[in-house]
Amino acid sequence: MANVRIPTPLRKLTDGKEEVAAAGTTVGELITNLEENYPGIRARICDDDGSVRRFVNIFANDEDIRFLNNLDTPVKEGDEVSIVPAIAGGNG
């Protein structure tokens, strides 16, 4: 099991939990397992074709999965995966 940190906007789907355990050997399998346990969470993370949404970042042990193997990024027991909504900046 990997530990998955859940951002505040998605905690309503995880009964308010900030961190949950998920099973799988890749980030994609973790998301599938999260969906089984917390229905509706995949739609908030992935778009219709299964890719991670543009405004969502996922980190595996502090590494952005977009620079690794994306949803095929391997995870192992005890790894830390964080789902982070992208924050849009402005020219303030």
Taken in order of first residue, the domains within the chain and their CATH numbers are 2-85 (3.10.20.30)
- Checking 41-50 for CB contacts under 8 A at 24+ apart, the result is 41/10, 41/13, 41/14, 44/9, 44/10, 44/13, 45/10, 45/83
pTM for this structure?
0.91
Question: How many residues would you count in the chain?
Answer: 92
For residue 86, the model assigns a pLDDT of 84
Summarised one tens digit per residue, pLDDT across range 45-63 is 999 999 999 999 999 999 9
